[in-house]
Amino acid sequence: MQKRYMVIWFRHLTTDWLTLRKPELKDVPFAFVAPERNRIIITAANPIAEAQGIYRGMAAADAKAITTNLQVVDHLPGKEAKLLKQLGLWCIRYTPIVAVDLPDSLILDISGCAHLWKDERGYLKEIVNKLRSSGYNARAAIADTIGAAWAISHYGKITPIVGSGEQAQALLNLPPIALRLEDAVLQKQQKLGFATIKSFMQIPRTVLRRRFGDGFLLRLAQALGVEDEHLVPLIPPIPNTERLPCLEPVRTAKAIEIAITKLLESLCVRLQSEGKGIRKATLKCYRIDGKMVHAKISTNRGSHSVSHLFKLFELQINKIEPALGIELFLMEATKVEDIDPLQEKLWADKPGLQDTALAELLDKLAGKIGAKAIYRYLPSENYWPERAIKQTSSLTDVPTTKWRNDRPRPLRLLQHPEPVEVMALLPDYPPKVFTYKGKRHIVEKADGPERIEREWWQDKGVHRDYYAIEDAEGQRYWLFRSGHYDAAPQWYLHGFFA
Amino acid sequence: MADNKRELINSLQKNILQWEGYKPPSLSERKLFGLNTIEANFPNGIFPIRAVHELVCDNTEQATASSGFISGLLSVLMQNSGACLWISLSGNMYPVALRSFEVEPDRIIFIQLKKDKDVLWAMEEALKCAGLTAVVGELSEVDFKQSRRLQLAVEQSGVTGFILRNRSNKMGSTACAARWHVKPLASEAIDGLPGLGFPRWQVELLRVRNGKPGNWVVEWSDTGFTPILKEQLEHQIQKVG
């Protein structure tokens, strides 16, 4: 497919911006100034000042002599880049690939985008009108190459749209400066009397190279489409992205639902044919007030099922604030993975943790309550009870060691052991009576002690002597004495046996 | 004549069960828990798998005993590599101990939540998922409407649900298939040795839909559930005395 590019030139980028910020400057000539080699130089002038003969690069003193009521503002370094970035991000609604061309242009790769506005003329008109109504004096041009579009947008006089393959014709009558050449080359050409591009178009390349160098030939070739020119997009395009512009801004939940379904349908069909599934996806909604709201989902296993992914987004629809309306939906699959096609089930057996329905259920739960609240336990090779287990959030992790059950362990373990009052017949005996939460328990049976030493390489402290205890009512507890019995040890209740 | 009437009544009772949504499990689906005496009290003499069971308890000790009883049931339910979801408010289950109830602890997915409402939502979603074998939900309050929703979800998917109600204030009627009360009992020394024996519980079936309530003593030993008969109990008491 033939590439098409659009270049938008902001003639008075910084001055337009300041006029928007300070409306009182609208009818006054003003200019940005910056010191350069001990002189104050004009860096940008607004249209009124320009009409009075003030141009960029002029000394500020001279300018003030021409226009007595000239207002002077200090130049803001880096402001152009910031403004262009903002404008570029706004332009994303028209095409995914937008690049900034300092100091005052934006380059848009519009291949395959213009038909949504009937044709390129309508597309260009839409963008330029929107920019102009928001206060920026913009000129734009569309051509097959970036060089040609740039030249026409800056110096073109006839039509902003250059048909496919007609860029050479369109460039003929433009001055050489339209080719984005260096100053030294331009001066040489002026000396030689090359006033338009057509005056050197027919000259053999070897001659041109000798006179003007390789850079010049490259620019010419780029403008004619012989050489490729690469853009550095403002937002690197994500390969699995679907866009849905709306004719009218939408603001109802139902409309958002429809948009999500449509986007997912087209995205999932593509992913399915590639044998991939979504792990993470983001829905970005561009609103007409220039803000962007987004909703994110993630799944446990790659999925390309529209109904499942829709359910995950459905939980988040109420978090999407449409305000005045959403005009563009963008669905990005930020993480995809290969999925193995499931083998047909021969027996209707329960497949356990690897079941698709289970993975989908957990995605749904995680969407509402957060993925942190869902976990599994795996055994860990530690004797210290708290560290004998480790949490995992993955469904595919398998235990690396065996679960130990050679020692009695309580079914419920308190996260923090609770201190209890204890009476024992002899210091190293199991307790005879203990008081927990104000209730006295008379011990009937006891097992123990089981001494568990601290892992000295992990933390310091004393060992624990654990006793399994049954009271007169048949309730079973796991108590421990912290440290040796000769130094008035503290007793704790750590767990409950079934 | 009397036999005819009894047959008629039996078949009518079966019909009523089906209309209420309680499908009798087919023989292939039937699981044997080793709780013969208890299972006999359920309709058709089969422990209902496609149902929600409610276990009430007054304190943490009883909640632990109930968890042990559920774990014992899970060991049978999860035999063919099934997965289980354990939704709780406390989050103090210690998976190492599940191994002694013949359950693979890594096949249980734990979810910790803060509110009853969230537990009910998560539980309902989970009970709809046919990929699971069982769902355990720890909460305090559940009303009839909420339990009815859970029961309807179960009828579609065939998952077994357990509600563990700790310290609940109201004990109204629910749509659950059975209401249990499990209390810890003093264990019996193994071979007369000192120390703790196998966990032993007083299992009370407070309510059964279309079944008979009852009261039993059950022990979890090396071979699984072991109902302790009354004669054995008396014998043991005499020995001690």
Q: What is the pLDDT of residues A11-42, one digit of tens each?
A: 888 888 888 888 888 888 888 888 888 888 88
- A361 CB near a chain B CB, below 8 Å? yes
User: Among all residues of chain A, which has the CA nearest to that of B182?
Assistant: A498
Structure token digits, residue A52:
């009075």
CA B125 to chain centre: 20
Contact B113 A369 (CB under 8 A): yes
- A358 CB near a chain B CB, below 8 Å? yes
Q: Is B205 within the bounds of a domain?
A: yes
pLDDT at A348: 46
pLDDT at A341 over 50: yes
- Sheet of A326-338: strand order equals A241-250, A326-338, A276-287, A292-303
pLDDT at A101 over 90: no
**Tens-digit pLDDT profile for residues B117-135:** 999 999 999 999 888 899 9
What is the C-alpha to C-alpha distance for residues A20 and A23, in angstroms, rounded to an integer?
6
Reduced to 3 states (helix: H, G, I; strand: E, B; else coil), residue A254 is helix
pLDDT at A440: 93
Q: Which residues of A touch B67 (CB under 8 A)?
A: 411-412, 498
Burial group, residue B222, by CB count within 10 angstroms (0-12, 13-18, 19+): exposed
User: Among all residues of chain A, which has the CA nearest to that of B109?
Assistant: A376
Structure token digits, residue B79:
């035999």
Q: How many domains does chain B have?
A: 1
Q: B residues 63-92 near A, CB within 8 Å?
A: 63-65, 67-69, 71, 80-83, 90-92
For residue B50, the enclosing domain spans 33-240
**Tens-digit pLDDT profile for residues B181-201:** 999 999 888 777 888 888 999
Between strands A39-45 and A30-36, the pairing is antiparallel
What is the C-alpha to C-alpha distance for residues A303 and A271, in angstroms, rounded to an integer?
9
**Tens-digit pLDDT profile for residues B132-164:** 899 999 998 888 999 999 999 998 888 999 999
pLDDT at B145: 92
Distance (Å) of CA A296 to CA A89, A319, A399, B15: 20, 11, 31, 49
Mention every residue, 6+ apart, whose C-beta is less than 8 A from residue A37: none
Q: Is B198 within the bounds of a domain?
A: yes
pLDDT at B215 over 70: yes
**When comparing pLDDT for B204 and B46, which is higher?**
B204
DSSP assignment of A327-381: EEEEEEEEEEEE-PPPPPPSS----GGG-HHHHHHHHHHHHHH-GGGEEEEEE-S
Domain boundaries, chain A: 5-143, 241-338, 412-496
pLDDT at A347 over 60: no
Nearest CB among B110, B121, B186 relative to A470 is that of B186
pLDDT at A308: 87
pLDDT at A156: 82
**Tens-digit pLDDT profile for residues A453-492:** 998 888 888 899 999 999 998 999 999 998 887 777 889 9
pLDDT at B241: 45
Structure token digits, residue A424:
């024992």
User: Residue B28: pLDDT band by 50, 70, 90 thresholds?
Assistant: low
Task: Work out the widest C-alpha separation in chain B, in whole angstroms.
Answer: 60
CB atoms near residue A485 (< 10 Å) = 14
Q: Is the peptide bond before A449 cis (omega within 30 degrees of 0)?
A: yes
**Tens-digit pLDDT profile for residues A229-251:** 888 888 777 778 888 888 888 88
Q: Is B118 within the bounds of a domain?
A: yes
Q: Which residues of A touch B201 (CB under 8 A)?
A: 498
CATH of domain A241-338: 3.30.1490.100
Contact B194 A445 (CB under 8 A): yes
Question: What's the 3-state SS for chain B?
Answer: CHHHHHHHHHHHHHHHHHHCCCCCCCCCCCCCCCCHHHHCCCHHHCCCCCCEEEEEECCHHHHHHHHHHHHHHHHHHCCCCCCEEEEECCCCECHHHHHHHCCCHHHEEEEECCCHHHHHHHHHHHHCCCCCCEEEEEECCCCHHHHHHHHHHHHHHCCEEEEEEECCCCCCCCCCCEEEEEEEECCCCHHHCCCCCCCEEEEEEEEECCCCCEEEEEEEECCEEEEECHHHHHHHHHHHC
Q: Is B231 within the bounds of a domain?
A: yes
Burial group, residue A94, by CB count within 10 angstroms (0-12, 13-18, 19+): buried
Q: B residues 201-240 near A, CB within 8 Å?
A: 201, 220
What is the C-alpha to C-alpha distance for residues A346 and B74, in angstroms, rounded to an integer?
25
Q: Is B147 within the bounds of a domain?
A: yes
pLDDT at A283 over 60: yes
What is the C-alpha to C-alpha distance for residues A316 and A297, in angstroms, rounded to an integer?
9
Asked whether this complex has an ipTM greater than 0.90, the answer is no
Global pTM value:
0.66
**Tens-digit pLDDT profile for residues A126-152:** 889 998 998 888 889 998 888 888 988
What is the C-alpha to C-alpha distance for residues A378 and A400, in angstroms, rounded to an integer?
8
pLDDT at B62 over 80: yes
Chain A interface test: which of B85, B90, B138, B196 (most A C-beta within 10 Å)? B196
Quick one: DSSP state of residue A383? S
What is the C-alpha to C-alpha distance for residues A338 and A3, in angstroms, rounded to an integer?
31
pLDDT at B105 over 50: yes
Distance, first Cα to last Cα, chain A: 71
Q: Is B200 within the bounds of a domain?
A: yes
Provide the shortest C-alpha distance from residue A6 to chain B (in Å): 51
Backbone angles phi, psi at A26, to 5 degrees: -60, -40
Structure token digits, residue A219:
């620019």
Chain B interface test: which of A342, A393, A496 (most B C-beta within 10 Å)? A496
Q: Which residues of B touch A420 (CB under 8 A)?
A: none
What is the C-alpha to C-alpha distance for residues A100 and A10, in angstroms, rounded to an integer?
12
Q: Are B203 and B37 in contact (CB under 8 A)?
A: no
Q: Which residues of A touch B106 (CB under 8 A)?
A: 376-379, 397-399, 403
Q: A residues 449-478 near B, CB within 8 Å?
A: 468, 470, 472-476
pLDDT at B24: 63
Q: Which CATH class is domain A5-143?
A: alpha beta
Mention every residue, 6+ apart, whose C-beta is less than 8 A from residue A296: A280, A281, A282, A283, A316
Least confident of A214-223, A373-382, A437-446: A214-223
- A415 CB near a chain B CB, below 8 Å? yes
Mention every residue, 6+ apart, whose C-beta is less than 8 A from residue A256: A250, A285, A317, A320, A322, A326, A329
pLDDT at A174 over 60: yes
**Tens-digit pLDDT profile for residues A354-395:** 777 888 888 888 888 888 889 999 999 888 998 899 988 888
- B111 CB near a chain A CB, below 8 Å? yes
Contact B68 A411 (CB under 8 A): yes
What is the C-alpha to C-alpha distance for residues B32 and B22, in angstroms, rounded to an integer?
19
pLDDT at B220 over 70: yes
Contact A412 B80 (CB under 8 A): no
Give the residue-averaged pLDDT of B52-68.
92
Q: Are B30 and A444 in contact (CB under 8 A)?
A: no
Q: Is B172 within the bounds of a domain?
A: yes
* Percent of chain A's residues with pLDDT above 90: 14
CB atoms near residue B233 (< 10 Å) = 13
pLDDT at B68 over 90: yes
Nearest CB among A405, A473, A498 relative to B68 is that of A498
Q: Are A328 and A286 in contact (CB under 8 A)?
A: yes
H or E element that contains A180:
none
What is the C-alpha to C-alpha distance for residues B204 and B224, in angstroms, rounded to an integer?
18
- The domain that contains B55 carries what CATH number? 3.40.50.300
Q: Is B21 within the bounds of a domain?
A: no
Chain A interface test: which of B61, B125, B136 (most A C-beta within 10 Å)? B61
pLDDT at A428: 80
Give the residue-averaged pLDDT of A151-155.
88
Provide the shortest C-alpha distance from residue B194 to chain A (in Å): 7
Structure token digits, residue A197:
């591009």
What is the C-alpha to C-alpha distance for residues A197 and A323, in angstroms, rounded to an integer?
51
Q: Which residues of A touch B183 (CB under 8 A)?
A: 474
